[in-house]
Structure 1
Amino acid sequence: MIFNNRHAETIAEILLNINAVKLQPYNFFTWSSGKKSPIYCDNRVILSHPHERMIIYNLLSQHIKSEFQSINYIAGVATGAIAHGMIIASKLNLPFIYVREKAKKHGRKNQIEGHLSKKSNVLVIEDLISTGKSSMNAIQAIEEQESKVHGLISIFTYDFIDIKKMKTPCISLCDYPTLIKVAKKKKLITKEEAEILSDWKKEIVI
C-alpha cells in the first residue's frame, strides 16, 4: 500500500534519477537470498544526494504526522534503515532506536540499540521491504519489550507482503508497479521490458 499516487511517482523518479534502482530485464541480479531478480534497489544511495534526500524525508515526515499521531518513538531496521530512521526521528524530534537481526553475542548482547521505554508507541522505518522478514523480526523484538508498534513505513516496497494478513499497518512511499510505470513513461525501458518486469513480480515465489 502506498500513501499517495502522485508522491509515489515522485519517489520513483528520484530513485531512477539517482541510480538507486537498477533494472535489468534480460540479465537478472542475484539477491542475497539466492533469488533471481530484474531489479536491484539500494536506498543507501539516497544519503549521498541532499536535494533528493530532503524531498524523501519531508514526504515521510508529512505522512507520519498525518497518519501516526500517537507515536513517540522511531525505530530503524539495521542496517539499511538506521540513517534514514535517525534523520526522520530528528525531524520529528522523537527518540530513536534501531533493531538488529538478532542480539549481539558480546557486550550487552542487545538486539535493540538505544533506550526504549516500556509501553512506548513505536513506528518502524525500513528503507526497502522485500520479503518483510527483517521488518517482522524488528516488530517482534520491540513488542517483546512491552511496547506497541503502530506501523511500518518504507521508502520502497516490492509489494510481496499481503498487508491484509498483517496486524501492523504497512505503508510505503513507492511500490514496484509505480516504479515500472514511471520507468516506462521516462522511456528507460521498452513496453516489452516493462512486461518482463511485471511478469516477474507475478511469478516469483517468496
Structure 2
Amino acid sequence: MALTPRDLAACLLDAGAVRLQPQDPFTWASGLKSPIYCDNRQLLGFPEARGQIVAALAARAMTLGPTLITGAATAGVPWAAMVADRLGLPMAYVRPTPKNHGMGRQVEGPLAKGHRAVLIEDLISTGMSSLKCADALKAEGAEVSAVLALFSYGLPQAEQAFASARIPFEVLGSFQVLSEEAEHRGLLDAAGLAALKAWRTDTVAWSRAHGGA
C-alpha cells in the first residue's frame, strides 16, 4: 500500500520528529522563531516507518530515471543510501561547502559527471540549502532531475526558489495534513492552528513578532 501524506504525518508525530510549540517557539539556526520544529532523523529509529518511507522515495525516484542517487548532508544521506540500495544504483552525497582539506570535494562518492541525479532531502524549509547542493552536482557535470524530500514546511519562498532554479521538487508529506492530524490528536487548538497558518504566510513577520530575527 502506498504511503499517503496522512500516513507520513502519523509517522512524524508518532516518532516525535515534529514538535509544535506555538506559545513557546523554537529558534532556528538562522535566528528565526518558529512554532514548529522537524527532525526527521528521529524516524531512523522506527524500522517499520523507515521502510515505508524508503519504499515511497524509491518508487518516486524510479519514475525519474536516475543513474545516481544523491543525499544532502547530513540528514538526507541515510535516506539516499537506503534508496540507492533498494534501486541498485550508485550513491553520492553533497556537502554544504567543499571540504577544506584532502581532495577539497563537495560531492563525495562517484563522480557525478554524466549522471542523471535525484537529490534526496529529509526536509525542505526555504529550499536554499537543497539548491546549493543541486548547484554543486550541476557544477560537477550532473543533470539534477528533481529533489525529493520527506517533508516540507510549505513555505512560499521555497516554491519560488525552486521555480526560479527550474528544478522540480516533490514532497511525500503535506504541511496541511500534518496540521489536521495534530489537531485531531489534540496537539493543536484553534489558536495553535492560526499561529501555524500565520507563520507559514510570513515567517519573518511572525518571527519578529515573537522576538526572533
TM-score, structure 2 as length reference: 0.89
Q: Distance in 1 between matches of 2:83 and 2:93?
A: 13
- Is structure 2 residue 94 aligned with structure 1 residue 99? yes
Partner of 2:203: 204
Alpha-carbon contact 1:27-1:38 (below 8 Å) kept: yes
Any idea what the Cα deviations from partners look like across 1:82-131, whole Å, max 9, x if unmatched? 11111111011110000001111111111110012421100000000111
Shift of 1:81: 0.7
Partner of 1:32: 29
Match of 2:145 among 146, 150, 153: 150
Partner of 1:182: 181
Unaligned 5+ residue runs, structure 1?
A: none
Which amino acid in structure 1 is aligned with residue 59 of structure 2? Q
Q: Distance in 1 between matches of 2:164 and 2:101?
A: 36
Which amino acid in structure 2 is aligned with residue 202 of structure 1? T
* Secondary structure at the counterpart of residue 131 of structure 1: coil
Alpha-carbon contact 2:112-2:137 (below 8 Å) kept: no
Q: Distance in 2 between matches of 1:125 and 1:109?
A: 22
Match of 1:90 among 68, 85, 92: 85
Unaligned 5+ residue runs, structure 2?
A: 206-213
Partner of 1:165: 164
Runs of 4+, deviation exceeding 6 Å: none
Partner of 1:121: 116
Alpha-carbon contact 2:32-2:204 (below 8 Å) kept: no
Partner of 1:138: 133
- Is structure 2 residue 60 aligned with structure 1 residue 60? no
Which amino acid in structure 1 is aligned with residue 52 of structure 2? I
* Secondary structure at the counterpart of residue 156 of structure 1: strand
Task: Give the alignment's Cα RMSD to 1 decimal.
Answer: 1.6
Aligned residues: 200
Shift of 1:175: 2.7
Any idea what the Cα deviations from partners look like across 1:140-180, whole Å, max 9, x if unmatched? 01111111000000000112212443411100001322211
Identity level (%): 34
Any idea what the Cα deviations from partners look like across 1:19-64, whole Å, max 9, x if unmatched? 0000001000000110000111001111111111111111111222
Partner of 2:211: none
Q: Distance in 1 between matches of 2:140 and 2:163?
A: 25
Alpha-carbon contact 1:97-1:112 (below 8 Å) kept: yes
Q: Distance in 2 between matches of 1:117 and 1:201?
A: 35
